[in-house]
Amino acid sequence: MKTVTYNGLTFKPFITSDQISKRVGEIAAQITEEYSGRNPLIVCVLNGAFPFASELFMNLGCDAQIAFVRLQSYCGTESSGEVRQVVGLTESVKDRPVVIVEDIIDTGRTMARFLADLKTQEPADVKVATLLFKPDALIEKITPDYVGFTIPSKFIIGYGLDLNGQARNLKDIYVLQQD
Binding residues (CB under 6 A) for ligand IMP: these are 48, 73-74, 79, 102-110, 155-157, 161-162
Q: What's the rounded Cα separation, in Å, for the pair 61 and 141?
A: 31
Q: Which is nearer to ligand IMP, 38 or 113 (CB)?
A: 113
| Least Å from the CB of residue 157 to ligand IMP | 6
Q: Which value, to the nearest 10 degrees, does the dihedral of the CA atoms of residues 95, 53, 114, 135 take?
A: 120
| Least Å from the CB of residue 17 to Mg ion | 19
Name the binder of 54 from ligand IMP, Mg ion, none, CB < 5-8 A by kind.
Answer: none
Active site annotation includes 106: yes
User: Contact 158/2 with Cβ under 8 angstroms?
Assistant: no
Q: Which is nearer to Mg ion, 49 or 93 (CB)?
A: 49
The catalytic position among 18, 106, 125, 136 is: 106
Under rule CB under 5 A, residue 48 binds Mg ion: yes
Q: What are phi and psi of 17, to 5 degrees?
A: -65, -30
Q: Which is nearer to ligand IMP, 108 or 123 (CB)?
A: 108
Task: Give one DSSP letter per residue of 131-175, joined into a string.
Answer: EEE-GGG--S----SEEEEE--S--EEBTTB-BTTBSTT-SSEEE
In 3D, which of 7, 3, 1 has the Cα closest to residue 177? 3
Under rule CB under 5 A, residue 103 binds Mg ion: yes
Which residues of this chain interact with Mg ion, rule CB under 5 A? 48, 103
Active site positions, annotated: 106
